[in-house]
Amino acid sequence: MSAHENQAGPFLKWAGGKSQLLAQYDPFFPREPMRGYFEPFVGSGAVFFHLRGRGLFSTYYLSETNEELLNCYRAVRDHVDELIARLREHQARHSRDYYYAIRNLDRNSAWIHASLVERAARLIYLNKTCYNGLWRVNRRGHFNVPMGRYKNPEIVNEARLRAASRALQGVHLAVEDFEQVIRRAGRGDFVYLDPPYIPLSETANFTSYTQDEFGEYEHRKLALVFAELDRKGCRVMLSNSDTPLTRELYRNFRIETVSARRAINSASTRRGAISEVVVLNY
Ligand SMILES: C[S@@+](CC[C@H](N)C(=O)[O-])C[C@H]1O[C@@H](n2cnc3c(N)ncnc32)[C@H](O)[C@@H]1O
């Protein structure tokens, strides 16, 4: 096992994943010990895994609204051996027909009785083999991404899963809306907010990760949550696209820009480096 593999990092590909921005974010991260770490839009957890190794926080709270994703974190934390074994079976059987059979399991009413590990293995398997690692469900909650074109997808990376499992020991996990963070976080806590981004142009749609939309109303509510956390004495950091709405909502706070390459972007003309913002209350 290489030193790199021993280090914890995201075990999923996720829309809006922050791995590529960590170096630019680093100057903004806390340097001294703090109380809790809160990440209420956890996604693939790039920032969490990056900061976890530093041991600056006494407690970690990861949450988000995608229940399948949160369950997957629970399985990695609590049942990593079983999960790896199940993923090896998926790896051995992977084919086009197998992909669609696994993808369509959620169309079957018996799927609600599937175990935590079974669901988590399905999510990881689909994430590694579907088009662009996209997680998209239709209005009925059915995963509907076609198979990706990978010659030899890496379905199980044991070292990475084990490192993630170690990093997740003792971490609090919850399926909940970002607004709940106000009830939990207080003075001396650090909160990192990474919502689905405000679209760059009016023609681009707000992203839909789950059945629930995240539109202008949610962004306005999030700005109120940011201000409330600030009032409570939390240190707050937020990522978003650089749009007039972002700058209006956070005009009372410090706004820094970073430069990002977007991997998952519907408008191919927008691939390449674009400027994004980081909002800070410190
Ligand atoms: C931009 S992604 C976060 C990416 C993450 N920072 C990473 O590095 O992978 C936003 C996440 O917020 C979640 N989400 C969407 N609406 C939410 C809500 N109302 N409350 C909490 N989480 C939500 C989505 O499921 C998605 O995983």
Assign domain 78-160 to its CATH superfamily: Adenine-specific Methyltransferase, Domain 2 (1.10.1020.10)
Instruction: Tell the residue nearest (CA) to atom 8 of ligand 1.
Output: 17
How far, in Å, is the centroid of ligand 1 from the Cα of 70? Answer: 11
User: Cβ < 6 Å from ligand 1: which residues?
Assistant: 14, 16-18, 40-41, 43-44, 46-47, 64-66, 177-178, 194-196, 209-210, 214
Q: Dig out the tokens for 71 from the structure.
A: 């369950």
Rounded mean pLDDT of 137-157?
94
pTM of this prediction exceeds 0.75: yes
Between CA 248 and CA 25 the distance in angstroms is 22
Between CA 131 and CA 199 the distance in angstroms is 21
Pick the CATH number of 3-65+176-280 from 3.30.930.10, 3.40.50.720, 3.40.50.150, 3.90.550.10: 3.40.50.150
pLDDT of 144 strictly over 70: yes
Instruction: Tell the residue nearest (CA) to atom 11 of ligand 1.
Output: 41
Between CA 41 and CA 36 the distance in angstroms is 16
Rounded mean pLDDT of 124-141?
94
**CB of 193 within 8 A of CB of 226?**
yes
Between CA 121 and CA 80 the distance in angstroms is 10
SS3 196: coil
Q: Tell me the pLDDT tens digit for each residue of 173-207.
A: 999 999 999 999 999 999 999 999 998 875 555 55
pLDDT of 5 strictly over 70: no
* Other CB atoms within 10 A of residue 111 CB: 13
How far, in Å, is the centroid of ligand 1 from the Cα of 196? Answer: 6
pLDDT of residue 213: 79
How far, in Å, is the centroid of ligand 1 from the Cα of 190? Answer: 17
Q: Which of 13, 16, 29 has its CA nearest to residue 192?
A: 29
pLDDT of 282 strictly over 70: yes
Between CA 15 and CA 207 the distance in angstroms is 9
Domain ranges of the chain: 3-65+176-280, 78-160
* Other CB atoms within 10 A of residue 54 CB: 11
Q: Tell me the pLDDT tens digit for each residue of 209-218.
A: 444 579 999 9
Q: What is the 3-state secondary structure (H, E, C) of 27-84?
A: HHCCCCCEEEEEECCCCCCHHHHHHHCCCCEEEEEEEECCHHHHHHHHHHHHCHHHHH
Residue pointed to by tokens 């010659």: 151
Which residue did the predictor score with more confidence, 4 or 164? 164
Percent of the chain at pLDDT above 70? 90
pLDDT of 60 strictly over 90: yes
**CB of 92 within 8 A of CB of 84?**
no
**CB of 203 within 8 A of CB of 174?**
no
Between CA 23 and CA 55 the distance in angstroms is 18
pLDDT of 1 strictly over 80: no
Q: What 8-state DSSP symbol labels residue 128?
A: H
How far, in Å, is the centroid of ligand 1 from the Cα of 147? Answer: 23
How far, in Å, is the centroid of ligand 1 from the Cα of 33? Answer: 26
pLDDT of residue 269: 54
Residue from 13, 29, 49, 65 to probe ligand 1 pocket by mutation (most atoms less than 8 Å from CB):
65
Rounded mean pLDDT of 229-257?
97
